[in-house]
Amino acid sequence: MPPFWIVIRQLVEIEEQMATSKKVITREEWEKRLNDVKIRKEDMNKLVMNFLVTEGYVEAAEKFRMESGTEPDIDLATITDRMAVKKAVQCGNVEDAIEKVNDLNPEILDTNPQLFFHLQQQRLIELIRNGKVEEALEFAQEELAPRGEENQSFLEELERTVALLAFEDVSNCPVGELMDISQRLKTASEVNAAILTSQSHEKDPKLPSLLKMLIWAQNQLDEKATYPRINDLSNATLEDPTV
């Protein structure tokens, strides 16, 4: 029945057209729509404060508090303490960092065996870095070996760390990454996260996840429309839509 086939073909063509032709939104249209979105100033300020607090920029947070009147959701003094701990680990003063954490809240290391082990491991690494072989061995035996007995995965990590002692050139050995500065940063961020958690605070600032959501939403939208996209996140410039 020819008329029937004609109808079907027409329908299919319309469908195809709809699928291929994306909606185009011009810059003016887009900006007009953006202008209609209202975001409260206080919310923006809170977002900034959250970033400063979580990342530990205490002076900036203090200034921002005075200028914008935004109250941080945490005692700013604790940020100073937290940053001092973080910095101590980053500089390799692990023992100092442990004492500071314990002053801040003795529960953190008492209830977090993994973090405690990693700090002790970092201490061992620093002893090896400073060439204190005998002290390192004694420390590994007295402080770390009992932790290895309690936990198999600790034992494996301990073995890897002690292996450092077997090499002449530690930075070029199979376990050399332990000596790297990134290991310190890893441990430091672990302590930082644990302190934040103990203060009922998120481990990560909200701003990065907001940006992630922006990118995700743009990717979703790309399938349906052409619009002024933000590619340069740091300047948030709108690109002209490519038709």
Cβ partners under 8 Å of residue 171, min gap 6: 179, 180
User: Which range of residues in 19-27, 84-92, 110-118, 176-184 is near other proteins by CB under 8 A?
Assistant: 110-118
Cα end-to-end distance, the chain, whole Å: 40
User: Which range of residues in 20-28, 40-48, 60-68, 96-104 is near other proteins by CB under 8 A?
Assistant: 96-104
Name the minimum Å distance from CB 121 to other proteins. 13
Residue 113 binds other proteins (CB under 8 A):
yes
97, 88 contact by CB (below 8 A): yes
Q: Which of 135, 159, 177, 232 binds other proteins (CB under 8 A)?
A: 135
Selection from 218, 190, 54, 1 nearest residue 112 by Cα: 190
Q: What are phi and psi of 87, to 5 degrees?
A: -65, -40
Length of the chain: 243
**Residue 158 or 229: which CB sits closer to other proteins?**
158
Q: Which of 14, 29, 91, 146 binds other proteins (CB under 8 A)?
A: 146
**What radius of gyration do the chain's Cα atoms show?**
28
Q: Which of 52, 116, 124, 229 binds other proteins (CB under 8 A)?
A: 116
**Residue 64 or 154: which CB sits closer to other proteins?**
154
Residue 110 binds other proteins (CB under 8 A):
yes
Helix 181-198 and helix 94-104, axial crossing angle in degrees, nearest 10: 10
Query: Which residues in this chain contact other proteins in the complex, by CB under 8 A?
Result: 98-99, 102, 106-107, 109-114, 116, 134-135, 138, 143, 146, 150-153, 156, 197-198, 200, 202
